Amino acid sequence: MSASTPPPPPQPLPLPRATVARLEAVLSIGAHLIPHPRKAASGGEDAFFANSDAGGVFAIADGVSGWAEKNVNPALFSRELMRNSSNFLNDEALQVSHDPQILLMKAHAATSSIGSATVIIAMLEKTGTLKIASVGDCGLKVIRKGQVMFSISPQEHYFDCPYQISSEAEGQTYKDALVCSVNLMEGDIIVSGSDGLFDNIFDQEIVSIISESPSVDEAAKALAELARKHSVDVRFDSPYSMEARSRGFDVPWWKKLLGGKLIGGKMDDITVVVAQVKTVVVPEDEVQGGDTEEQKGNEQGAAAVVAYKMNDEEVA
Catalogue the long-range contacts made by 250-259 (C-beta closer than 8 Å, 24 or more residues apart): none
| Residue-wise DSSP of 297-308 | HHHHHHHHHHHH
Task: Answer whether 105's CB lies under 8 Å from 174's CB.
Answer: yes
94 falls within a domain = yes
State the 10-residue block means of pLDDT for the chain, 316 residues long.
Answer: 59 60 92 96 96 89 96 97 95 85 97 98 95 98 97 95 95 96 97 98 98 97 98 96 92 74 93 96 59 39 28 35
**Do residues 275 and 216 lie in contact, with contact meaning Cβ atoms separated by under 8 Å?**
yes
* pLDDT at residue 256, as a whole number: 75
pLDDT at 165: 97
DSSP reduced 3-state for 200:
coil
What angle do helix axes 74-87 and 100-110 make, rounded to 10 degrees? 130
Position 13 in a domain: no
pLDDT number for residue 38: 93
DSSP 145: T
In a domain, 108, yes or no: yes
Examine residue 209 and state whether it is found in any structural domain, yes or no.
Answer: no
Beta pairing, strands 129-135 & 139-144: unpaired
CB-based burial, 222-256: b 16+ in 10 Å, e otherwise = bbbebbbebbeeeebbbbbbeebeeeeebeeeeee
- Residues 6 or more apart whose CB falls under 8 angstroms from that of 288 comprise 15, 17
pTM of the complete model beyond 0.85 = no
| Domain annotation covers residue 227 | no
Name the nearest CA neighbour of 120 among 81, 148, 147.
81
Contact between 271 and 46 (Cβ < 8 Å): yes
State the pLDDT at residue 236: 97
CATH number where 75 lies: 3.60.40.10
Phi, psi of 241 (to 5 degrees): -65, -35
CA distance linking residue 213 with residue 207, whole number of Å? 10
- Supply the pLDDT for residue 292: 41
In a domain, 300, yes or no: no
Residue 210, SS3 per DSSP? helix
Question: Pseudo-torsion of CA 88, 93, 95, 98, nearest 10°?
Answer: -90
Structural domains in the chain (count): 1
Helical H segments across the chain, by residue range: 74-87, 92-97, 100-110, 195-198, 203-212, 216-231, 239-246, 253-257, 292-312
Instruction: Tell whether 65 is covered by a domain.
Output: yes
Domain coverage including residue 103:
22-193+269-281
Rounded distance between C-alpha atoms, residue 141 and residue 138, angstroms: 11
Residue 226 lies in a domain: no
Residue 168, pLDDT score: 94
